[in-house]
Amino acid sequence: MKTIEFKQLDETLYYKKLPNGLDVYILPKKGFSKTFVTFTTKYGSIDRTFVPIGESEAITVPDGIAHFLEHKMFEKEDGDVFQQFSESGASANAFTSFTRTAYLFSATDNIYKSTETLLNFVQEPYFTEKTVNKEKGIIGQEITMYDDQADWRLYFGAIENMYHNHPVKIDIAGTIESIDKITADHLYTCYNTFYHPSNMLLFVVGAIDPTEMMSFIEDNQNKKEFPEPTPIERQFEKEPTDVAVKERELKMDVQKPKVYVGLKAKETDLSGEAMLKHELSVQIALECLYGRASDFYTDVYENGLIDESFAYDFSLEKGYGFALIGSDSSNPDQLAQKIKEVINNAENLLTSDSVERVKRKKIGFYLRALNSMEFIANQFTRYEFNEMNLFDAVPVIEKLTLQDVVEALKTIQGEPQQTVFKVLPSSERAE
Amino acid sequence: MTIGGIFLFLSTQLAEGVNLHIRQTTQFKTVSFSIKFRAPLDQKMAAERAVLSNVLQHSNGKFKKSAEFRSYLDDLFGTVLYFDASKKGSEHTLLLNVETVNDQYLQKNKVFNEVLDLINTAIFEPNFENGTFVPSIVEREKEMVIQRIQSIFDDKTRYAQYRLTQILRPNHPASISANGTLETVKEITPESLTKTYQSMINEDRVDIYVVGDIDVEAVQKKLTEALPFKDRTPKQITKDTNESKPEKEYTKEQQDMKQGKLHIGFSTPVRFGDEDYAKMQIFNGIFGGYAHSKLFMNVREKESLAYYASSSYHSQYGLVYVVSGIEPSNEKKATDVIKEQLEAMKNGEITELELTQTKAMLVNQLKETLDLARGQIEIYDQYKDLGETFSVDTWKERWNNVTKEDVQKMASQIELEAIYFLCGKEA
């Protein structure tokens, strides 16, 4: 077992790569009664074209399958796994993102029992045509729920505008039509390819003894047999750097228009510390330009172009990346115009004073976030899958300069990389 | 420190009606403050205080421009400072929450004393112009609160819940929003808001919480200086009388949407602090509070009718809400399955497993909440009024003592009062 100390943060992380390839990280937390455990596979909605384990030809599976698989992991021959977690007083959950599927629980008692439940249910698939078909009604309602959410439609509308080919533009849950095609065989193919321990990471944070927990996990894993790990071959079509659609709108039953300006990232091939430095730089640039202390914010606030829904965010993974900036607004076109003016003129707006101020804010953010076990476990996993280390964030921020921030921003700055998506009130609404 | 699950806050009185509660702990990398101003809840005051919290958040006498205020907070290592409006029972709470990094994790700078000064400024040095709040800021923040109220219409789940409470308990604290209404917000003037501010400072009941790795005596002393509140006799907050009844038992409304939102309101005579409160918590857990509950297992897992189907117990008002998102054509079936679950509980169809699971989940939920600084503040704040020392062990024992018969009795007291169904136009 390796020990990694983060002196300034007063944290010690324990790590071991098990013989079956599973990466296990344990972070003990003093003074807490809770333990939070995540078991994550590097497999998300974008992994739709790949070579199945043991085969040589790539296949494309129906959209929404990673999420469907996540749902179906909870059902076993002898019933629902939630029942077991509840009996131990553990809150269990799972989520599927573009790049990851995570299974997790938090609890204050019976930690070993729930850890065992977690490891076993994720490593013992049970799919039948009957249970697969039954799930279609449940997920169908989940999809319908999102279809009615204007904010979700706005988010995906903007991403769809940006991407020509990349599957990040496909809704994580798929569509009613695409999930209808899913079979138990599909689920086994995806499971066997992506749920090998060597493609997974277990993170334990909380009130635990690291040595005891590590040997408990090892014992559990050593009892199981897995095939030799093989590299997974995922396939993606080439993606142009310019956006697919410059401007588009959707009518919905809302009272107030919503708008996002999307900025498509050119640099999506980084990993490790270079990626960490790059994404922190872009985030700091956006905060300087659009944050509550910016001239932009004062202007759009005083002119009534935004409300409390105003937000900006930058997402980056291997193969895709984008910034989204927007708000509910009675004048979405004017707001979009002003957002673009700022990005187009960013070199003149960024100053070392504002960069230094936002760096301090960001350091404070990371220190506050380290109170949250959920943040640590989820973010650590995401960072690790991109060969970055969460605990390096503060020292990397401390070293960033104005020049770094300006350079990083250039990768999302070009006019051909900009798109606008709006959700507008449908005209037939009766008042 | 935790002794037998007892969470110790050291309480002292800063002035009559103003209490300070401090908890020293090394658990967190930050220090959290929460200052709660309480007054009786009504539509007019809710609106005034919602806008007031926005205006105080915007600027103050020292930082007259919002951007200056925000820049200063950024410089203090992203110290989080926000005002908010909320409600509990018949009480409106305007609160100031502050969270700042503990100095020991910062390599050079020290920020704690500056944060204390800033709390004083944010509360006691408002941004006044000729004796009132600045009219242009008041107008902008009124607009912000109006947008916040209107945004409910664009979120179908929130809208359906809003409509159900309107129908279920008209003109009652249960249906009064902590933000007031569009009409009451529009009526606000800089003068009325200034009056509301003065009554908040001089008349509200005030509770101040601090949690973190701090020197208790030093913080007590510093806060006494930073928060020079005067004595006050806070207004008595009367419990709602529960005379409000639904206009009608079934309401269906339509919008341009795909999913059907089925929201059902039930009443129970049991409220927070009543002898049967622990039993009602178990009832709700088994009915629809968790993933092992009857609603989840039947509406979702067995019948595949919904992605979510759950119940929540609002103990301040004696209400239980059931919510589910369904295919509109399944409305009758879903309603029947929900009613059947309650009937089953009334008939005593409650297993030992369901009891064990629910008890374990309640204990876990409480202990997890106490792992958060905000959780410690909220739990202590809620339970301190019960006139007993709060401890996890006491509540664990109360839940463990609940029997199947107790839960059956709770179920038999539940009454369905209103069903609200929101769905698309063609359904």
Q: Give the residue extent of every domain in chain A.
A: 2-234, 247-425
* B235 band by pLDDT with thresholds 50, 70 and 90: confident
- CA-closest candidate to residue B2, choices A426, A260, A31, A174: A31
- Which residues touch B9 (CB under 8 Å, ≥6 apart)? B21, B22, B23, B209, B376, B380
Task: List CB contacts (< 8 A) between A103 and chain B.
Answer: none
Q: What percent of chain A has pLDDT over 70?
A: 99
Q: Which residue in chain B has the smallest CA separation from A427?
A: B256
Q: Where do the DSSP E strands lie in A46-120?
A: 49-50, 59-60, 75-76, 79-80, 91-96, 101-107
pLDDT in tens, B57-76: 999 999 999 999 999 999 99
Task: List CB contacts (< 8 A) between B358 and chain A.
Answer: 86
Given this model, what pLDDT does residue A429 score?
A: 47
Residue found under tokens 């401090």: B22
Task: List CB contacts (< 8 A) between B370 and chain A.
Answer: 33
A247-425 classified as CATH 3.30.830.10: yes
Q: Which of A36-45, A156-165, B135-144, B234-243 has the least mean pLDDT?
A: B234-243
Q: How far apart are CA B229 and CA B123, in angstroms?
A: 10
Q: How far apart are CA A136 and CA A151, in angstroms?
A: 24
Given this model, what pLDDT does residue B107 score?
A: 63
Pick the CATH number of A2-234 from 3.40.50.300, 3.40.718.10, 3.30.830.10, 3.40.50.80: 3.30.830.10
Query: Which B residues, 245 through 264, put their C-beta within 8 Å of a C-beta on chain A?
Result: 255-259
Q: What percent of chain A has pLDDT over 90?
A: 95
Q: What percent of chain B has pLDDT over 90?
A: 87
Q: How far apart are CA B363 and CA B360, in angstroms?
A: 5
Q: What is the ipTM of this complex?
A: 0.93
CA-based angle A179:A183:A187, to the nearest 5?
Answer: 95
Q: What percent of chain B has pLDDT over 70?
A: 96
Residue found under tokens 């990471």: A201
Q: Is the Cβ pair A86, B290 closer than 8 Å?
A: yes
Please say whether the beta carbons of A269 and A316 come within 8 A: no
Q: Does B348 touch chain A (CB under 8 A)?
A: no
pLDDT higher than 70, residue B6 = no
Same fold, A2-234 and A247-425: yes
* B5 band by pLDDT with thresholds 50, 70 and 90: low
- Which residues touch B12 (CB under 8 Å, ≥6 apart)? B19, B20, B220
* B1 band by pLDDT with thresholds 50, 70 and 90: very low
- CA-closest candidate to residue B286, choices B413, B410, B397, B369: B410
Given this model, what pLDDT does residue B241 score?
A: 64
Q: How far apart are CA B337 and CA B37, in angstroms?
A: 43
Q: How far apart are CA B211 and CA B28, in angstroms?
A: 9
pTM of the model: 0.95
Q: Which residue in chain A has the smallest CA separation from B65?
A: A298
